[in-house]
Structure 1
């Protein structure tokens, strides 16, 4: 009976099977007629399997035919995460390049709709206040706050901020302006100004080889991380006020009437793997990581090429057969690569959101604006939150977790449609000099 089940299941996934069996010839004939993005019962795409089993030729063939890289299996891991675990440098580099190319292409596909949506929206000025807070004693004292000032005119947006970025308890202060000109061609539409140093940087459309290889070094030298906000069990209930006579909480947020809701069941799940790292790696890589994350590329020093992280010895060949793999219950994938060294944690958050029926912008409009200005990690967290199914109205005040120990309180404290916004705001001042490496992460 299990043999018949295996045959029936196996016939559903011919591309997965030929990758499992290492048949590049069969793959090259099937690839034209079958969906190479299809997931099997474990949520693995053909690319996942090719990476986990070390089928390098299959990996290259799948990538050449546009197999998606940004996709997760049931265990929550992408092909890139599995490639880092396997440890073949060429495969990791190929996946990083393809991931960046696919991300650019997806953004370019969405771009005409985004620009059209911006043109249809009225011009406005908006202020967004960020207060970062922590339940850890003393940490809140040193956390930053910031007011983002956003001007929108036509298909152009300018955001002024004093918080350049916020990540892993490190942040950079400054006087920064981020300018998007939607009517310009892609390579010239995004510009960042450093107003103190009077420098500007065009956000490039493509990474250099050196930057790709630096990124591969970082990936091979650090934990494989996956963190996500679980929204499955989230519910909203009206926040209450008053000690004896309880009533629904309503307050003014800036100039807007707002109903307050309690967000229940918000959980931040973080997981990490490090089976690809030795104890020696963990010590040695601290120094490498510090130099790379500070933006100092490992470029040619004293005329010598940078010392790159070598491929790992491959894990032992998997002795799992295709039949054994395909009849395994969902979520119980047989081990195909290295033994996992794995740690997971989850933290529940109590949070509130204030929804206003009076706010002149809709959530869809806000998402269009945020899509433009989300190279900043804390803004992309806000975008992820707003994508949730919220109660009616516009979220004028929100608490969202940024890190396991840090939450951000975001307040839309001012908004006005305006038809007098100065077009000069969206130009680079004539006395600014170009520095293509002022913001190495952009």
Structure 2
């Protein structure tokens, strides 16, 4: 809900005043410019933050929607961070200001805090972001458990194959066959690949177990069947883990990447040299129609105005080593924390200049940006089968549970696209800019209720707990 302290005649999200003499002349474009006074009343919380009026901000938080975005997509928290209004930042966070929301330029408040360079602010926003993410998951949990309960019990097998166009890299990329077992609100996944991101992966004989009837902080567990140890996937990070993540954020590029599918298209794949026909082949025991997917692009923007020359050098060396197929361990001393960097000079931009700028193109308020933008067209292939005995929306419920494994998160993002009719039994999708994954659903078997013994979804008695076995989970 908007603030109650508005004014009459504000006229919705973008109140304006008119200038020019284009009335009645269709060939003359009407110039529309927002009135700063009207806009200060339309967005009183934003205006008060801009002015650094902490008392007014505190009073307005009783009636204003802290999630509201202005004409540039900025929340009040965005402005407080970019302008270095630390008291406003902490007050807004205490009232639940969202940290994940992006402005019209695609940046959330945490990204702006990293650019500004104040460690305390970055830490506060990171901690709040994780808290809000947990709250969102908890809100969705009852609905998810209900969907799992309604879904029949089954055994599902899928295979991952990774390949790259970069010389030598394909030779070291892993493959994996995942076996997923579902019974009631319990899921077990046996795999040899627990994680895959940024040229790093963890191998072994692993089992992921989800028990929906247990409390959230004990419902997720990973077993290392070789070492006979287990680790619970914690809902909350320790203070040391938060501080280490802040160190990484302050020494790395701020990245905004998204997969654009505005121009997505599906074209039936063809087969045959002389007589061309639509390609239909069997995937496992299922007949499937093949499609080429076009119009997908990976848009990436990197900000590095907060980085020192030494940071840039180290990051380049790491990137060069990854491109050659080598992984370099982080050599940072965990006992040495990054210090806050010198804040940018106070912004000379006035409220009038900010609010009357064209929508989404406001004068920059924080540290002068250093941005590198890239756009890469991606190709994908999918084989859709009408014979597969599980619906795609049901697969999404399962994938949401195993989302801590980042390669499954990529799969979930892909199958949320508006695919052709059927179930995607084979998919080739990019998971990193230089790496493509081929996922094949090889087998699906419905199971009778109580097919699996209850012990199948429990931690074996001879396993010991090791809370640090999988540091990324």
Is TM-score (shorter-chain normalized) higher than 0.5?
A: yes
Answer yes or no: is 1:413 the counterpart of 2:442: yes
CA distance in 2, matches of 1:296, 1:183: 41
When residues 87 and 288 of structure 1 are mapped into structure 2, their CA distance, relative to the original with a 3 A threshold, is farther
Deviation at 1:408, TM superposition (A): 0.6
Among residues 290, 298, 315, which one is paired with 2:344 in the alignment?
A: 315
Give the 3 Å change call, closer, same or farther, for CA 323–242 of structure 1 in structure 2. Answer: same
Runs (4 or more) in structure 1 with deviation over 4 Å come to 1-4, 283-290, 293-299
Which one of the candidate residues 392, 411, 430 is aligned to 2:461?
430
Q: Is the 8 A contact 2:379 2:429 kept in 1?
A: no
Give, in whole Å, the separation in 1 of the partners of 2:122 and 2:395: 35
Cα distance in 2 for partners of 1:287, 1:183 equals 47
- 8 Å contact from structure 2 (residues 49, 57) kept in 1: yes
Which residue number in structure 2 is paired with residue 344 of structure 1? Answer: 373
Distance 1:283 1:73 in 2: 30
Query: In the superposition, relative to structure 1, how do residues 284 and 132 fare at CA in structure 2: closer, same or farther (>3 Å)?
Result: closer
The answer for the alignment partner of 1:144 in structure 2 is: 174
Partner of 2:249: 219
Whole-angstrom distance in 2 between the partners of 1:288 and 1:204: 29
Moved more, 192-201 or 221-230: 221-230
Distance 1:10 1:25 in 2: 16
Corresponding residue number in structure 1 for 2:48 = 18
Task: Answer whether contact 1:199 1:433 (CA < 8 A) is retained.
Answer: yes
Equivalent residue runs for 1:360-379 within 5 Å:
360-379=389-408
Deviation at 1:298, TM superposition (A): 6.1
Q: How many residues align?
A: 434
User: What is the DSSP-based 3-state SS (H/G/I as helix, E as strand, rest coil) of the residue aligned with 1:129?
Assistant: strand
1:307-365 Cα shifts (integer Å, max 9, x gaps) = 21111111011100111111111231211111111111111112111111111111111
Does residue 229 of structure 1 match 2:241?
A: no
Give the superposition deviation at 1:163: 1.1
What's the CA shift for 1:30? Answer: 1.2
Q: Which runs of 5+ in 2 are unaligned?
A: 1-18, 20-31, 322-327
Alignment root-mean-square deviation, CA: 2.1
Could you tell me which residue of structure 2 aligns to residue 302 of structure 1?
A: none
Return closer, same or farther for 1:4/1:83 CA change in 2, 3 Å cut-off: closer
Q: 2:153 — aligned with what? A: 123
Q: 2-side partners of 1:3 and 1:399: how far apart?
A: 48
State whether residues 122 and 246 of structure 2, in contact with CA within 8 Å, keep that contact through their aligned partners in structure 1: yes
Distance of 1:309 and 1:42 partners within structure 2? 32
Give 1:295 shift. 8.8
Cα gap change, 1:244/1:12 in structure 2, threshold over 3 Å: closer, same or farther?
A: farther
1:55 maps onto 2:85 in alignment: yes
Q: Which has the higher contact order (CA 8 A, sep 6+)?
A: 1
- The answer as to whether partners of 2:45 and 2:57 remain within 8 angstroms in 1 is yes
Whole-Å separation in 2 of the counterparts to 1:389 and 1:318: 44
Larger radius of gyration: 2
Query: Measured at CA, do residues 181 and 296 of structure 1 come closer, stay the same or move farther in structure 2, by a change above 3 Å?
Result: farther
Q: Secondary structure at the match of 2:410?
A: helix
Q: Does 1:209 align with 2:239?
A: yes
Per-residue deviation, 1:368: 0.5
- Higher alpha-carbon deviation: 65-74 or 327-336: 327-336
Distance in 1 (CA, whole Å) between partners of 2:168 and 2:317 is 27
**Alignment counterpart, residue 185 of structure 1, candidates 215, 222, 241:** 215
Contact 1:179 1:192 in 2 (8 A): yes
- Contact 1:400–1:407 (Cα < 8 Å) also in 2: yes
CA contact (8 A) 2:34 2:355 kept: no
1:325 to 354, 358, 370: 354
Q: Could you tell me which of 158, 181, 190 is aligned with 2:188?
A: 158
| Distance in 1 between residues matched to 2:330 and 2:395, nearest whole Å | 31
